[in-house]
């Protein structure tokens, strides 16, 4: 059963930008009870810190240069990190039984997993502790938004503002699933376990085309270099399936997010084929001090034309709560 393996490739890029290297940063490890979390601090240290939490299977390098530079240019200090089990952070060893776990998911039976979303939230807090940051802005996308919801709810004293992009407070279920087109791509078993980088890249393009902005050209030399370099940065992608199980094994966060006190900006695509727009309306209903922006031509990613549509609203939100 290649479901979990195959889903990985469309999460290679949850956010798309022109990802030329950004050389001005510091890197290191934070420690969460023996779990090493690799982070990158873009600085400057006297600017307003903002912790960015990446989505399923996403390495810290997936945050696009235009977003990082936008934050830096407006006196913010972006801090990004590899979630556990991806990139250069601690990897776990358990190999999920894809067939068994998928059947348990279909029939809504308990799933055994090495960690859940709540554990991943502590990884983010460990970075703030490592950098001696008492309070920061918080931005999470997709699975990163799920993790960030726990951070914002459990540690309100550490959060200045909260931004949620293309996320959900519900535990995914067969009734709350991707569109038929995306499900078909997910279930496609054409990708072999020993696929080459070139085959993986082609798979990535097909899948992100299905979830990205309509008409946007993903298959470019720059994008190919970016994907290839990230595969080489961390060739072990087995953590993806364990992260997915962590999502499926976690309870919904409906009651949890009612306790979020931070001013919250929710951004979602009207035609998101992975996490449908009703998830955004539900979060807006439950989070007391929240504002919702629905973007008509946004799907599940924030390509540069999409980011342009909400960058000023994001900046206003951050500045108001600094």
Q: What is the pLDDT of residues 58-70, one digit of tens each?
A: 999 999 899 999 9
Instruction: Report cis status (omega within 30 of 0) of the bond before 153.
Output: no
Tell me which H or E stretch contains 161: strand 159-165
Q: What is the DSSP letter of 95?
A: -
pLDDT of residue 184: 66
Contacts of residue 180, defined as CB under 8 A and 6 or more positions apart, other chains included, come to none
Least confident of 10-24, 128-142, 235-249, 279-293: 10-24
Residues 230, 275: Cα–Cα separation, whole Å: 25
Strand partners, 39: 28, 81
Q: For 62, which DSSP code?
A: G
Report the pLDDT averaged over residues 276-287. Answer: 96
Distance CA 119, CA 321 (A): 27
Most confident of 21-35, 184-198, 258-272: 258-272
What is this structure's pTM?
A: 0.90
Per-position DSSP letters for 167-214, written without gaps between them: --SSPP-TTS---HHHHHHHH---S-TT--HHHHHHHHHHHHHHHS-T
Report CA 293 to chain centroid distance, whole Å: 18
pLDDT at 26: 96
Contact 216, 34 (CB under 8 A): no
Q: Which residues are 262's β-sheet partners?
A: none
Distance, in Å, from the CA atom of 220 to the CA atom of 84, rounded to the nearest integer, reads 30
* CB burial of residue 113 (10 Å; 0-12, 13-18, 19+): buried
> At a CB cut-off of 8 Å and minimum separation 6, what does 248 contact?
101, 105, 111, 113, 171, 172
Mean pLDDT over each residue of the chain, to the nearest integer: 87
State the architecture of 3-320 in CATH terms: 3-Layer(aba) Sandwich (3.40)
Structure tokens at 154: 């459990």
CB atoms within 10 A of CB 308: 12
In the chain, alpha helices (H): 3-7, 65-73, 98-106, 117-130, 143-154, 180-187, 197-211, 221-233, 239-249, 254-257, 278-286, 304-320
Exposed / middle / buried, residue 292 (Cβ in 10 Å: 0-12, 13-18, 19+): middle
Tokens representing residue 265 in the block: 């900006």
Q: Comparing 20-24, 51-55, 113-117, which segment has the lowest mean pLDDT?
A: 20-24
pLDDT of residue 134: 98
Q: Can you give the pLDDT at residue 240?
A: 80
The pLDDT score that the predictor gives to residue 6 is 43
Between residues 25 and 181, which one has the greater pLDDT?
Answer: 25
> Looking at per-residue confidence, does 184 or 250 come out higher?
250
Q: What is the pLDDT of residue 118?
A: 95
First to last CA, the chain: 47
- Binning pLDDT at 50, 70 and 90, where does residue 194 land? low
User: What are the DSSP calls for 1-47, one per residue?
Assistant: --HHHHHGGGGS-SS----------EEEEEEETTEEEEEEE---TTS
Residue with tokens 């949850």: 14
């Amino acid at each position: 059963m290649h479901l979990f393996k195959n889903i990985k490739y469309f999460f290679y890029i949850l956010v798309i930008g022109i990802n030329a290297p950004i050389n001005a940063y510091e890197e290191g490890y934070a420690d969460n009870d023996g779990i090493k979390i690799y982070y990158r601090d873009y600085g400057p240290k006297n600017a307003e810190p903002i912790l960015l939490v990446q989505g399923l299977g996403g390495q810290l390098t997936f945050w696009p240069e235009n977003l990082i530079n936008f934050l830096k240019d407006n006196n913010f200090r972006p801090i990004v990190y590899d979630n556990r089990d991806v990139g250069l952070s601690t990897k776990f060893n358990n190999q999920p039984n894809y067939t068994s776990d998928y059947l348990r998911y279909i029939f809504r039976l308990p799933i055994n997993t090495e960690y859940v979303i709540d554990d991943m939230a502590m990884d983010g807090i460990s970075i703030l502790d490592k950098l001696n940051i008492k309070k920061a802005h918080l931005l999470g996308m997709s699975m990163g938004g799920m993790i960030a919801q726990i951070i914002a709810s459990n540690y309100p004293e550490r959060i200045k503002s909260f931004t949620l992009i293309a996320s959900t407070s519900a535990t995914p279920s067969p009734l709350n699933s991707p569109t038929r087109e995306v499900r078909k791509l997910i279930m496609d078993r054409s990708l072999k376990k020993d696929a080459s980088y070139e085959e993986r890249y082609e798979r990535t393009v097909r899948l992100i085309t299905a979830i990205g902005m309509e008409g946007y050209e993903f298959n470019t030399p720059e994008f190919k270099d970016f994907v290839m370099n990230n595969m080489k940065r961390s060739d072990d992608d087995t953590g993806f399936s364990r992260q997915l199980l962590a999502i499926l094994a976690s309870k919904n966060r409906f009651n949890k997010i009612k306790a979020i006190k931070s001013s919250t900006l929710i951004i979602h695509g009207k035609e998101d084929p992975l996490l449908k727009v009703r998830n955004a309306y539900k979060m807006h209903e439950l989070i007391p001090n929240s504002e919702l922006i629905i973007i008509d031509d946004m799907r599940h990613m924030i390509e540069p034309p999409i980011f342009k549509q909400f960058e000023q609203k994001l900046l206003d939100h951050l500045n108001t709560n600094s």
